[in-house]
Structure formats: structure tokens, C-alpha cells
Amino acid sequence: MVEPRLLQSKSFLKILGVPYWGNNSSLPITQAQVESVIANTPIFEGVVLAFCPHIMKASPSSDMSVIWIDIWDSQKGSKGKTLINCSFNFGCHTATVRGTAMHPGVAQYRNCWRWGHPTHACRAQGAKCQKCGGPHRVENHRSMAWCCKANPKSNPPREATAVGAPCPHTFKCLNCKGQHSADDTKCPFWRHCFDKQWHSNKAAKLCTGCASNSNIQCPRVGNF
């Protein structure tokens, strides 16, 4: 016998009044901190996040944040309506929940792992690995990536990564060049995925650099 299930929708909310920088820290607040506060705040009891919170500055020169959260809700959006305009403590600060329209942000195409263009506009000839940027899918990283392949001619000789073992090597992001995979939520490009102006500025700088070096092929720049 099939049990009936209630149809679900998503409600889109934003949290205001929270500083962008953590207490006594030069680092921004994290998704984990936001999730912890939500999990331990009574007004969010029974609320299930549909996606990880996204944090951005309220404006480029502001020290305050806008935290975007999507929650699973009923078809009538009753949970979201209950939360709108409610206030709660976020550390020593008073935060307020506001309603907002759907916020798709800047797209990251999961073929080339670049930002700012839809699938049909991608110029990549094939899939790229989000771990190393090589011309292969991530599930084939261990067998195809140079870092995991055996190389008896290197000095010292390099053994292949064991079958079934995760890649032990340092990743390099295709976008920010940081030491993480291209889909890591710690990446500055991911943290600013709702900030179209930030992405537009980054794309403009990249294109300027490409123009000054004829040997560099400029990646696809999206319509921001």
C-alpha cells in the first residue's frame, strides 16, 4: 500500500541584521555557524533547509550580511509565512527574517565548472574534473589524473594511488586557484554566488588579463 505524501514547495527567505565578519575574526561567518544557530533557535523548530545557507555582504562596503535560506514548506507556504518578520538572537545580535523572491544567483555549469553561463552556452569541448581541472570526469580522476597515475620516471618515482582510495593530493580550483576543488562551498566564487556584481567584476578582470596575453584563451563570460 502506497502511503500518501503531502506535496511540498520551497519558501525563500533572507536573514538580516547579522555581521558579515565573525566575532573577533577577520573571516566571514560560515554556513556551519548559520546552520547551528537555526538548529538551536525555537522559531525554526521543525524547519528543514532545502539547501545550504548562502551568505553575502549587504553591499560591497558594508560589514553586515544577507543570509539567504530556502526551506521546505507546504504548498500554501505556511512555515515561511510564520517566520517572516520574526526576530531572533544570532550571538549578541538581533536578526530578522524577511520574505524574498526566488534568488537563482549565478550559475556554475557542472561540465566545465566555470561560473556565469548556462549549459547551452558552454564552450568546453568536454567534461573537466572539479578536483584537478583535467579533461575527465571526477569519477575517473584516480585512473586518469597525472597526480594519481604511476610515474616510474619521476624523481622520486611516483606510485599510483591505490584503487578505491581517495586522491591524497592538493586540489587546485579552476576559478580562484585556491587549494580546493571547484565545487567547494569555501570557494570565494561559491560564497558570492548571489552577488552578480562581484562575479561581473571578476569576469571583467579575467578578460582584461586574457586580452593582455594572447596565449591565454578567455573562458566563457556569462551574462550577469
pLDDT digits (tens, 9 = 90+) for 14-53: 999 999 988 767 788 988 899 999 999 999 999 999 888 8
CA distance 10 to 163: 41
Domain boundaries, the chain: 8-99, 104-212
SS3 119: helix
Is this structure's pTM higher than 0.75? Answer: no
In this predicted model, what pLDDT tens digit does every residue of 102-141 receive, in sequence order?
Answer: 766 787 887 888 888 766 677 777 888 898 888 988 888 8
Indicate the pLDDT class of residue 82, thresholds 50, 70 and 90. Answer: very high
Q: With beta carbons less than 8 A apart as the criterion, state whether 110 and 42 touch.
A: no
Question: What cell numbers appear for 57 in the block?
Answer: 555582504
Class of domain 8-99: alpha beta
Indicate the pLDDT class of residue 147, thresholds 50, 70 and 90. Answer: confident
